[in-house]
Amino acid sequence: MAHSTTLALVIVVVLALTFGATVSVSAPVNKSCVSGSAGASVSIGYGGARASAGAGVSLGADAYRSTCPRAEEIIRAAVERAVAADPRMAASLLRLHFHDCFVNGCDGSVLLDDKPFFIGEKTAVPNANSIRGFEVIDAIKTELERECPDTVSCADLLAIAARDSVVVSGGPSWEIEVGRKDSRTASLQGANTNLPAPTSGVDTLVQKFRNVGLSTKDMVALSGAHTIGKARCTSFSARLAGAGGVSEGGAGAFKDLTFLQSLQQLCTGSAGSALAHLDLATPATFDNQYYINLLSGDGLLPSDQALASSAAVPGVEADVASLVATYAFDASVFFQDFAESMLRMGRLAPGVGTSGEVRRNCRVVNSSE
CA dist., res. 138 & res. 164, Å (int): 16
Q: Does the annotation list 282 as a binding residue?
A: yes
Q: Does the annotation list 105 as a binding residue?
A: yes
Active site residue 97: no
Q: Does the annotation list 279 as a binding residue?
A: yes
Q: Does the annotation list 4 as a binding residue?
A: no
Distances (CA, A) of 56 to 47, 168, 362: 18, 33, 22
Q: Does the annotation list 5 as a binding residue?
A: no
Q: Does the annotation list 121 as a binding residue?
A: yes
Q: Does the annotation list 235 as a binding residue?
A: no
Q: Does the annotation list 107 as a binding residue?
A: yes
CA dist., res. 243 & res. 352, Å (int): 43
Phi-psi region of 228 (alpha: psi -120 to 50; beta: other; left: phi over 0): beta
Q: Which of 3, 97, 99, 277 is catalytic?
A: 99
H or E stretch at 44: strand 39-45
CA dist., res. 295 & res. 278, Å (int): 15
CB 338 within 8 A of CB 237: no
CB 215 within 8 A of CB 137: no
CA dist., res. 37 & res. 167, Å (int): 9
Spell 118-140 as b/e; 16+ CB within 10 A means b: eebbbebebbeebbbbbebbeeb
CA dist., res. 19 & res. 21, Å (int): 5
- HSE-CB at 300 with a 13 A cutoff on CA atoms is 28
CB 341 within 8 A of CB 217: yes
**Signed CA dihedral, 229, 322, 295, 37: sign only:** negative
Q: Does the annotation list 164 as a binding residue?
A: no
Q: Does the annotation list 170 as a binding residue?
A: no
| Residue (of 226, 220, 193) closest to 102 by Cα position | 193
Annotated binding-site positions: 100, 103, 105, 107, 109, 121, 196, 226-227, 279, 282, 287
Q: Which residues are catalytic?
A: 99
Residue ranges for the known binding site for substrate are 196
Which residue positions form the known binding site for heme b?
226
Which residues belong to the annotated binding site for Ca(2+)? Answer: 100, 103, 105, 107, 109, 121, 227, 279, 282, 287
